[in-house]
Amino acid sequence: MGKHASSGKYAIVGLGVVAGPQPDRSERMIAAEAARLAIADAGLTRADIGGAIDLRRTGGGGDRASYSDAFTRVLGIKNNFYFTCGRGGALAGLGMAATMSYLDRGIADYVVLMGAVTDWSQSQETRKKGFRGMAHAEKRGYWGKPLGDSRAVSHHSWMAARHMAVYGTTSAQLGAISVAERQWACMNPEAKMYGRPITVEDHQNSPLVAEPYHLLDMSQVSDGGIAFILTTADRAKDCAKPPVYVLGQGFGEVSADLWWEKKNFTHMAVEPAKKQAFGQADITLDDVDCAQLYDCFTAEVLFQLEDYGWCKKGEGGAFVADGNMAPGGSIPVNTGGGLLSCYHLGDLTGLAESVRQLRGEAGERQIEDCDIVLTTGHGGELVSPGMCSIHTCTLLGRHA
Amino acid sequence: MNINPQSYTVDLDWKKPYPSIDHDNEAFWDGLKEHKLLVWKCKQCGAVYWPKAYCQNHDNEPFAANCEWTEASGRGKIFAFNIHHWAFHPGFKEEVPYVYALIELDEGPLISSQLVGGDLPTDIHTVGQTVEIVYEDHPAQGFTLPKFRVVRE
């Protein structure tokens, strides 16, 4: 077969991160700052940027910003295009796919992709009104709202529950995922939970939120912004930092599965996405040095470990309990702490970590000889029982 | 709350989120008010859907011509469930802990709702319990909510 013609043809050359609570900044100011940092990181100027994509959640967390107040205007980018892109937590994967088309046709030489959220700040406001969680989750529009389906955890926890019922997976095994990610976070000074290690016992003792999920099965609620600069491989060589090449990308949807086939409650749409991405890159799972798997809740990590084939379906619980995804394990997963322990900026969290690992910028948690990283995203419309129907798989490499 | 009848009336101020009733599901919500659980059935092959969709088994156009709302048995089995210990919305404060279940209707489709009454499941690893619909009428609000209770077999 060999590599697809597109493999290694595009690269991430800039990364900008604004992390931690931003109570005094609007979403668009966070966005503009992340973009500014990414442009500087690439050794470029605002004038070089030809297009911008605003990575924005849809469904449960979407359509809450004023699109006309684009961060590009704030920052003074004279871009040829600007649009919003995303689906639940599948943001960067989709945005990158679109970007490559613009680069390919010379519509822009450098494109900035940016995602910003103020979920943490919003949660502080909603708490004053007696609600838990983010204000935008209060909007109408999905089935179970009057029936007690209040938050993402209301239906995501079924996926864990179903896996537990079908395969005998235990809450303590899910806890091992939380513990492993916290171990990674404790090596990442940027992580929310840096310096706060936990044990499986801590996980078991954390409050039950929507059983089987404890508080420590759930991802962070965060403020922040992450921006990337993408360009073509030939231009990438002249940028300030080592290029991170896009080796392959794949996508899968199980929206029909989850409504009608009832299969997706113990798996993600990995199969088609994996086939496409690994086919383009012409590599196998053994070539992957570490993985940044979308982890809005613990069970999603378990599903993906099984779906990609690091272990068999149903054996994910034992696999994680054996420490396979933790530091020193057979497949390091979510090496920056992930959404569970670092911060929640959709799949941008994992993508930022992938870039750092491939550049050798990951400090204490750096994976030795890290050549290839797998990053995933997923998202849906939060219309229970359907959720997380899309899965994105992005393979990045140190070498084209 | 121990609920025995097939339906009960709650005529208080509504403090929870309202149901989203639109063109696609208006008939479904009207059915609930008459204490009927409607599902969307293909007249050609008998496949049953909820919510409304094109039949997945064959091309069917125009959209509405091949399918119709039909009354379901109102019975099903628990496919997965969770127990909400936190009330994210203040309207649920007095109900926690409550069981929110994914139910596989006897006709096939999945539907989700809160379980009410006694015999509520507690072990997440145990699924497949038989449930049946309980109609929670809210006449002052003009809608009926479909809830489910565990049936002792």
Which A residues, 327 through 386, put their C-beta within 8 Å of a C-beta on chain B? 384-385
Residue B126 has pLDDT above 50, yes or no: yes
Percent of chain B with pLDDT over 70: 93
Q: Which residue has the higher pLDDT, B102 or B10?
A: B102
Q: Is the dihedral of CA B116, B122, B124, B130 positive or negative?
A: negative
The DSSP bridge partners found for residue A228 are: A15, A113
pTM: 0.94
Binary contact (B90, A158; C-beta < 8 A): no
Tally of CA atoms within 13 A in the half-sphere of A373 that contains its CB? 30
Chain B residues inside the 8 Å CB shell of A217: none
- Identify the band that residue A44 occupies on the pLDDT scale cut at 50, 70 and 90: very high
Residue B109 has pLDDT above 70, yes or no: yes
- SS3 string of chain B? CCCCCCEEECCCCCCCCCCCCCCCCHHHHHHHHCCCCEEEEECCCCCEECCCCCCCCCCCCCHHHHEEEEECCCEEEEEEEEEECCCCCHHHCCCCCEEEEEEEECCCCEEEEEECCCCCCCCCCCCCCEEEEEEEEECCCCEEEEEEEECCC
pLDDT in tens, A199-254: 999 999 999 999 999 999 999 999 999 999 999 999 999 999 999 999 999 999 87
Which B residues, 61 through 100, put their C-beta within 8 Å of a C-beta on chain A? 79-90, 92, 95, 97-98, 100
Q: Which helix (H) or strand (E) holds A225?
A: strand A223-232
Binary contact (B85, A133; C-beta < 8 A): no
Chain A residues inside the 8 Å CB shell of B80: 158-159, 161-162, 165, 265
Binary contact (B19, A145; C-beta < 8 A): yes
pLDDT in tens, B13-30: 888 888 888 888 999 999
- The SS3 of residue A181 is helix
ipTM above 0.85, yes or no: yes
Residues A60-78, mean pLDDT to the nearest whole number? 68
Residues A307-330, mean pLDDT to the nearest whole number? 98
Q: Which pair of tokens denotes residue A236?
A: 């990438």
Q: What is the C-alpha separation between B153 and B149, in angstroms, rounded? A: 12
Binary contact (B90, A151; C-beta < 8 A): no
Binary contact (B85, A211; C-beta < 8 A): yes
Name residue, tokens 């396979």.
Answer: A324
By the 10 Å C-beta count (0-12 exposed, 13-18 middle, 19+ buried), A240 is classed as exposed
Q: Are strands A244-253 and A208-211 parallel, antiparallel or unpaired?
A: unpaired
Residue A138 has pLDDT above 70, yes or no: no
